[in-house]
Structure 1
């Protein structure tokens, strides 16, 4: 399980990273809003632990930005802000849980586990966007009730975008999820598969489904 820690206090950040790593979590620790944005664009995380008082911005604004951009990762706010209004503000901005500092590490672990369980329990088996219906159980894709014949790799590629509509996905992230191991040729192969996917899906639409973000990756728009 992958955890992103956004915490500017050096001692606390190291403590969280080491403690979670010892419990077999894969941990990325960043200290600013800017680094958090970059980390979340590079890969997906199972849980994000977010401090609010960051050197280059407020964690609440960062959280709102994430939610408006289509990021759905569970977020646990870890903050010294301890009033009821603070907790309400955090939950209203899109947090899934709120834990006040100082805290028990065992309670933090329990809350992280609960968020991961909850995320797994509500995982959708049918994804829909702009008339596209992707069924994960029957492994079928329909556009306005018309079935589209996709290969298994094209299906996997579309699934990634359907889980992240509106979100720019990097070429590296897509390639690592589609191919068992990432190597340089994959990025060229990705262009081939994107071309095939566009050819099969876009003829029925007035506007393109996919946007190429030059130098970065692709976006389902």
Structure 2
């Protein structure tokens, strides 16, 4: 389970990262809005713990930005802003939970586990984007209601995009998940060309946007 900690206080950030690591979580720590944006663009996380007072921006604005861009990772706000109005604002703007400082780490852990249980309960088995339907159980894909034959690697590649529709995915992020440990720079381009041939021609519209030197985006 991967946790992104967005916290600028050095001692608290270290404490949180160590606490999660000791309980067998994979924890990444970002100390600014910019670092948090980069972390979320590079990787997927099961839950995000977000402080609001960050050195280069407000955590609530960062949360709004994530939700507008289609990021749906569970977010728990951990903040010294502890009034009822603060909590209501955070939840209304897209947070899934709110825990004021000071806090008990065991209580924080219980909140994180609760978020994970809720996330697992609503996990989708059917992914849909525009005219594409991807069934994770039957491992089938339909375009405008018609079946599309994909290889296992093509299916894995499309699944990553369908789970992250609208997000910019870097080349390294995609390659590591489809071909872990394999380094062939042009392999991703070959498979993207195949997906485009099988899906974009049938959809009659652009589905995959290339960001030169960065990666791809399902639009």
C-alpha separation in 1, matches of 2:30 and 2:130:
35
Gaps of 5+ in 1: none
CA deviation string 1:156-189 (max 9, x = no partner): 11011111111101111111111232x431x321
Deviations 1:36-72 (A, max 9, x none): 0001111111111000000000000000000111111
Unaligned runs of 5+ in 2: none
Task: Write the distance in 1 (CA, Å) between the matches of 2:178 and 2:119.
Answer: 22
Task: Give, in whole Å, the separation in 2 of the partners of 1:156 and 1:129.
Answer: 15
**Contact 2:6–2:49 at 8 Å: present in 1 too?**
yes
Match of 1:192 in 2: 190
Note the 1:79-98 alignment, pairs <5 A.
79-98=79-98
Summarize the alignment of residues 200-211 of structure 1 with structure 2, pairs less than 5 Å apart: 200-211=198-209
CA RMSD of superposed structures (Å): 0.9
Query: Displaced runs of 4+ in structure 1, greater than 3 A?
Result: none
Matched residue of 1:13: which SS? helix
Equivalent position of 1:101 in the other structure: 101
- Give TM-score, length-normalised by structure 2: 0.98
Q: CA deviation at 1:138?
A: 1.0
Partner residue in 2 for 1:45: 45
Separation in structure 2 between the aligned mates of residue 144 and residue 122 of structure 1, nearest angstrom: 25
Q: 1:214 aligns with which of 203, 212, 215?
A: 212
TM-score for both structures, normalised by structure 1: 0.97
Q: Distance in 1 between matches of 2:67 and 2:176?
A: 24
